[in-house]
């Protein structure tokens, strides 16, 4: 089997299944409809909602956590901002109460900034109620430490990843997903946005960024060389599009170096037609879906 076919198959194997994507879409619409009915007096299944996080950037390989934001009317912000004590907590409770009309209370949680809905099939939605700002960013409530308002700006990140993906012959999202497969397989402390940030920055300067699957062994080799050489003392990087700080969650350089060395061994085995050895080496990096 050619290296191009191997990597094409890997990229297919780690995609979220159509069945799971359909379930996510159905639940997203039901959540949107419920909140629209209570806060906007409409039953739209699409208005005021946006997928964010890895799922919104279309770089995820899991259905376990789906992040979405729901935009509330500004009048709601004025109401809860005028509370004498932790209006943010009261706002989250109001959104939670709305969702309880549709979903069992046993499946709804809150953790200070989000309302989570957990389904028995393992899918969890994390819903952030928010208010849109003039610059198209969002203000959202944080009920921790007495309550405060925070800002997030996901739209430019989604746009930057989408545009760079097209520029790179659709290789960016594939790379983001493959690095997630490595992260899961090797227990690497890397968050999704930081993975996407590294992949974006790497491909922006990689000379073969617009090539086919035939170059994917070179792509992952060179990416892990790039990753292992990141400054170990650096605490954050700037996300594409939004330039928001993305903090490191832990040390990843050593595991990136191990992956780089294993890929060199896999490529050497491919060169000498040691098919079984090569495949085992690729699996050490990307897991059993390779």
pLDDT over 90 at 104, yes or no = no
pLDDT over 90 at 202, yes or no = yes
What distance in Å separates the CA atoms of residue 157 and residue 262, rounded to the nearest whole number? 32
For the chain, the farthest-separated pair of C-alpha atoms sits apart, in whole angstroms, at 72
- 3-class DSSP assignment, residue 177: helix
Per-residue pLDDT tens over the stretch 117-142: 999 888 999 999 999 999 999 999 99
The model carries a pTM of: 0.94
pLDDT for the residue 98:
95
Q: Domains for the chain: give ranges and CATH numbers.
A: 18-152 (3.30.460.90), 156-286 (no CATH)
pLDDT for the residue 181:
98
Per-residue pLDDT tens over the stretch 8-30: 999 999 999 999 999 999 999 99
pLDDT for the residue 85:
85
Q: Is 199 exposed, middle or buried (0-12, 13-18, 19+ CB in 10 A)?
A: buried
Label residue 263 by pLDDT band (50, 70, 90).
Answer: very high
Look at strands 124-132 and 65-71 and give their pairing: parallel
The rounded mean pLDDT for the chain is 96
């Amino acid at each position: 089997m050619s290296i191009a076919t191997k990597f094409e198959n890997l990229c297919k194997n780690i995609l979220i299944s159509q069945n799971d994507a359909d379930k996510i879409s159905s639940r997203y619409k039901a959540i949107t409809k419920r909140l629209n009915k209570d806060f906007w007096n409409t039953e739209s299944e699409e208005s005021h909602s946006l997928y964010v996080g890895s799922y919104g950037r279309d770089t995820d390989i899991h259905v376990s956590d789906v992040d979405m934001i729901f935009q509330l009317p500004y009048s709601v912000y004025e109401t809860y901002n005028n509370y004498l004590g932790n209006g943010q907590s009261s706002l989250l409770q109001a959104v939670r109460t709305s969702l309880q009309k549709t979903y069992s209370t046993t499946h709804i949680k809150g953790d200070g900034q989000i309302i989570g809905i957990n389904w028995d099939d393992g899918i969890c939605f994390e819903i952030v109620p928010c208010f849109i700002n003039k610059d198209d960013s969002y203000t959202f409530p944080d009920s921790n430490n007495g309550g405060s308002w925070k800002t997030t700006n996901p739209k430019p990140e989604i746009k930057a990843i989408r545009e760079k993906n097209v520029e790179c012959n659709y290789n960016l999202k594939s790379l983001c997903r493959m690095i997630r497969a490595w992260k899961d397989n090797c227990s690497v402390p890397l968050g999704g946005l930081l993975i996407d940030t590294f992949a974006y920055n790497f491909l922006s300067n990689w000379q073969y960024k617009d090539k086919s699957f035939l170059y994917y062994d070179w792509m992952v080799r060179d990416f892990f060389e790039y990753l292992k050489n990141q400054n170990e003392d650096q605490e954050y990087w700037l996300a594409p599009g939004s330039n928001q700080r993305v903090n490191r969650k832990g040390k990843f350089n050593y595991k990136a170096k191990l992956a780089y060395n294993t890929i060199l061994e896999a490529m050497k085995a491919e060169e000498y037609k040691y098919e079984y050895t090569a495949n085992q080496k690729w699996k050490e990096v990307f897991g059993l879906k390779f």
